[in-house]
Amino acid sequence: MIDQPTTLETILYAKEERAWKQKELLSRHPLASLISLTINIPSLIKLSHEAVVAHEIAHQALLEMLQEEGIELLACESKLSPSGAESFFTCKVDAKVLKAFTCKVEMTHPLGRLMDIDVLDLTGNILSRSALGLPKRRCFACEEEAQLCARSQRHTYAELNLYIKQLVEKHAFAHSIALWCERAMQTEVELTPKPGLVDQANSGAHHDMDIHTFYTSIRAIKPFVIQWIQTAQTYAHEDAKQSFVRLRKIGIACEKAMFEATSNVNTHKGMIFCLAVFCGAIGRLKGCNQSFTCKRLQTQMQALCANLVEDDLLHVKPNSAGARFFYETGSSGIRGIAQSGFDIIFESALPFFQACKKEEGEEIALKKTLLLLMSRLDDSTLWSRGGVEGLAYAKTQTQALLHVKPNAENLDTFLRELDADMISKNLSPGGSADLLAMTWLLSHIVKEC
């Protein structure tokens, strides 16, 4: 839904629906005032990535404002739709007082120009800035009055949206990366069908989780992405191994939050480790004002994870799943992948995905990239469920399937057959799923390879 264009008809209908919602909320709380928040996005892609980031930040800023000013919040609702992101806050306070506070948010917040914050009094009347003696809103790209620029179409959509992207990058970088990480995890779990994995059709080989468990887990993980980014950015110039210690500490807290949210179901433990390393690399590059190229990301990841296999596997007793996997198979698992700078992604999965996406579209590219990863990865999740035999079986099956070169018409048929087979054998390629999400994520972040 994000980054997809909508229609003028949909936008106009959403405006009518918003007016109805405002009326309904005020009737439910007859002595209250209402904040109606939307985001100013001058194009037909109303729910852009930047719009969602700006909405999340604006929503939180308004909650904090209400708390700081001691204003009682009676109700709060928000939603995302193709016509944009919006929130409603029903408050027990005089509308003029509320309007003054919201105007302050618009004028002082770094992303304030993107925020369209209406305040309605108990009769449903929308208060204007001029009623408080405040100046009219200014244009994104210049200091002229916003309405005048809009009417004369002084700036193109491309110019305005470039300004918005730069504004979000400057003032909400960590939040933007957090949304990319959230989208990557959602993209992976929603991809259907997938062999042995949770998707929209079934729970794969898992009996203790479904897609809703994953959504809950993703929500729990997202705040820690911001912590990883900000920590790595703050300490960008310190020794990489010391940064890794900081990242791992946050990762442990993230794992705890995940388990608490999912009632002790392990949905994303491997993904949390991958994200910690990725965010550490991104944050360090950002802190050093360097662009995000494949080479630079790999270099940072390798530095963060230097000697990780030796530290975590060679010099410890095999009392963890990763250590047992290492001693039985000789594979260093996700630690070895991280220590290589995720070489399997940069050298294989990412170029394969990008080429396939160009020819056959993103969904088919994701499915085929998953098969590629399963055919090459020593997946510890497969090993933990089926031993060396189960791991070998998954590799053999996916190698054979890739050799057939399935097309768009028969790919899903093959995947459903493999899904049923792997479910019957209790096999799930969780490690490959994590790297698929990372591949999608990197395809949207890296500037060049």
Instruction: State the average pLDDT over residues 351-367.
Output: 97
Instruction: State the average pLDDT over residues 54-67.
Output: 98
Residue 426 is classified by DSSP as T
Instruction: State the average pLDDT over residues 177-188.
Output: 98
Judged against a pLDDT cut of 80, whether residue 323 lies above it is answered with no
Instruction: State the average pLDDT over residues 148-156.
Output: 78
pLDDT in tens, 79-135: 999 999 999 999 999 999 999 999 999 999 999 999 999 999 999 999 998 877 777
Q: Which residue in this structure is represented by tokens 């979000």?
A: 168
The one-letter amino acid code at 293 reads T
Q: Percent of the chain at pLDDT above 90? A: 83
| Lowest-confidence pick of 164-178, 286-300, 302-316 | 302-316
CA 318-319-323 angle, to 5 degrees, is 45
pLDDT tier, 316 (very low <50, low <70, confident <90, very high otherwise): low
Q: Between 163 and 246, name the one with better pLDDT.
A: 246
Tell the CATH topology of 8-155: Alpha-Beta Plaits (3.30.70)
Q: What is the pLDDT of residue 317?
A: 64
β-sheet with 115-120: strand ranges across: 72-81, 84-92, 33-39, 115-120
Per domain, the residue ranges of the chain are 8-155, 163-445
CA 179-185-190 angle, to 5 degrees, is 120
